[in-house]
């Protein structure tokens, strides 16, 4: 019986992944044309991995393959750290396929999980070996099981940092139908001291690596976003999560929501569409990074009929351009993450391309963002760079990605934990 290639790939990964969980992968000597170590490009370098870690990095002439090692000659390719997706939703799929409300209300959790396994494989094959998954959007704790399946080698996918259900103030999220009908919500409602502490602890106990809070949102379907949680409530969320060793990230697009989340001490603010210069300066002062998710707004505008180059631009695009101008002026640090799930999984590079093409960042800035900077901002000291002792998560692409970000579309090799998962 002939197997279709995606299933065959997944089956092969499952077998090799399960085996690698029991036995250490063989050493690999990777000899590309150049190595980008997360900060700088080095011509003529090579990388040696041993087990699931990097053993040595340096000039190719100085690295020798130990007995039993496999040597991979990669002429014309640049080797770099596995990419880190800063904002994803593996349990969502593009809104032009199925609206968000219908995904939350009409799709079973079993269907959503089955689809998410495909999304996980697509993410890994696109070169993203780590992803922050910031909310299941009505699928409960399904991201925890998805993470476990990947870690156990049952399915291919990136290393996940999961936020589980996310936190919203009662009445502020959706779906919203008739006032006479209570429907499942896309996040967990919590209010006040007792309710917030219980919800944060519950999510952590169920497996959350991250607590995500909606610091502002639309109270009604045709309203602008407004702050939801009070300053005291946000402070308590961060305090409770921090005591358990978890960071908090905040969905925030209004100046006041962003200000409150920043003062509370969140790790990153997601979106930041309405950010002002003063708010971005406060974020920089407090060490809070911005994950602007420019690709999501672009995708939604296109779903509504807009095409780039059309004048006038939609208000959300115009506002994003202005907020990004102010963010760059302020010097606030940028995390790179596209809110993938709003658009197609596997198309994760869309965010990086927009940042270069439409928002003035250089390919080198964005490449560092996808690797070393994201790792530092997300407190992941074991990845994002190529140096001895770190995880052997690597990808290879043709040409020089420090000059042309689009080369990251041409993934020729993916190594995760010292195991070749795409070649």
Q: For residue 11, what are its two tokens?
A: 């089956």
Q: For residue 308, what are its two tokens?
A: 């780039």
CA dist 55 and 389 (Å) reads 6
Cis amide prior to 175 (ω within 30 degrees):
yes
Concatenating the DSSP letter of every residue in 98-149 gives S-HHHHHHHS-HHHHHHHHHHHHHHHHHTTEEEEEE---SSSTTHHHHHHHH
CA dist 382 and 390 (Å) reads 5
pLDDT 10s digit of each residue in the chain, 423 long?
333 444 444 444 444 444 444 578 999 999 999 999 999 999 999 999 999 999 999 999 999 999 999 999 999 999 999 999 999 999 999 999 999 999 999 999 999 999 999 999 999 999 999 999 999 999 999 999 999 999 999 999 999 999 999 999 999 999 998 888 889 999 999 999 999 999 999 999 999 999 999 999 999 888 999 999 999 999 999 999 999 999 999 999 999 999 999 999 999 999 999 999 999 999 999 999 999 999 999 999 999 999 988 878 899 999 999 999 999 999 999 999 999 999 999 999 999 999 999 999 999 999 999 999 999 999 999 999 999 999 999 999 999 999 999 999 999 999 999 999 999
Concatenating the DSSP letter of every residue in 335-354 gives -----BTSS-TT-TTHHHHH
pLDDT at 350: 98
Angle between helices 315-330 and 277-286 (to 10 degrees): 50
Domain spans of the chain?
Answer: 5-82+384-422, 83-377
- Contact between 37 and 58 (Cβ < 8 Å): no
Angle between helices 231-243 and 255-264 (to 10 degrees): 40
Q: Which stretches of 228-322 are assigned E, i.e. beta strand?
A: 248-252, 268-271, 289-291
Full-model pTM: 0.94
pLDDT at 11: 40
5-82+384-422 folds as: Urease, subunit C; domain 1 (2.30.40)
CA dist 162 and 146 (Å) reads 9
**Top-level class of domain 83-377:** alpha beta
Q: For residue 132, what are its two tokens?
A: 């922050």
Task: Give which of 110, 100, 105 is closest to 181, Cα–Cα.
Answer: 105
pLDDT at 22: 53
- Contact between 48 and 32 (Cβ < 8 Å): no
Q: What is the per-residue pLDDT across 109-146, written as a single tens digit (0 to 9) for each?
A: 999 999 999 999 999 999 999 999 999 999 999 999 99
Q: How many Cβ atoms from other residues are within 10 Å of residue 251's Cβ?
A: 28
pLDDT at 20: 42
pLDDT at 3: 39
pLDDT at 2: 39
Helices (H), 272-342: 277-286, 294-303, 315-330
């Amino acid at each position: 019986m002939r197997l279709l290639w995606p299933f065959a790939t997944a089956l092969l990964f499952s077998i090799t992944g399960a085996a690698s969980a029991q036995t250490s992968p063989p050493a690999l000597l990777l000899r590309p044309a150049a190595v980008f170590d997360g900060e700088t490009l080095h011509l003529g370098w090579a990388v040696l991995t041993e087990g699931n870690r990097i053993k040595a990095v340096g000039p190719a002439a100085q690295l020798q393959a130990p007995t039993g090692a496999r040597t991979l000659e990669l002429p014309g390719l640049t080797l770099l750290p596995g990419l880190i997706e800063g904002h994803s939703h593996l349990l969502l799929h593009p809104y032009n396929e199925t609206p968000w409300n219908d995904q939350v209300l009409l799709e079973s959790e079993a269907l959503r999980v089955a689809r998410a396994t495909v999304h996980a494989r697509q993410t890994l094959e696109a070169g993203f070996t780590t992803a922050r998954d910031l909310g299941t959007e009505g699928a409960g704790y399904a991201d925890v099981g998805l993470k476990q399946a990947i870690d156990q080698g049952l399915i291919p996918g990136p290393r996940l940092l999961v936020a589980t259900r996310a936190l919203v103030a009662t009445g502020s999220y959706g779906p919203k139908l008739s006032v006479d009908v209570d429907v499942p919500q896309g996040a967990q409602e919590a209010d006040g001291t007792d309710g917030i502490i219980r919800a944060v602890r519950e999510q952590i106990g169920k497996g959350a690596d991250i607590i995500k809070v909606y610091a502002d949102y639309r109270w009604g379907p045709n309203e602008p976003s407004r702050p939801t949680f009070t300053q005291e409530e946000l402070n308590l969320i961060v305090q409770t999560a921090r005591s358990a060793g978890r960071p908090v990230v905040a969905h925030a697009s209004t100046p006041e929501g962003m200000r409150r989340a920043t003062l509370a001490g969140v790790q990153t603010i997601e979106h930041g569409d309405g950010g002002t210069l003063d708010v971005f300066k406060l974020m920089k002062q407090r060490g809070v990074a911005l994950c602007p998710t420019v690709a999501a707004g672009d995708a939604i505008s296109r779903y509504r009929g807009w095409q780039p180059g059309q004048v006038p631009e939609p208000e959300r695009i115009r506002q994003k351009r202005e907020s990004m101008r102010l963010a760059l002026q302020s010097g606030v640090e940028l995390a790179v993450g596209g809110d993938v799930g709003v658009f197609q999984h596997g198309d994760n590079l869309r965010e990086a391309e927009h940042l270069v093409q439409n928002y003035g960042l250089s390919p080198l800035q964005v490449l560092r963002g996808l690797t070393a900077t994201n790792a530092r901002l997300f407190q992941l000291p074991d990845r994002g760079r190529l140096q001895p002792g770190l995880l052997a998560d690597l990808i290879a692409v043709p040409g020089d990605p420090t000059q042309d970000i689009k080369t990251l579309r041409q993934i020729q090799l993916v190594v995760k934990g010292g195991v070749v998962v795409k070649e």
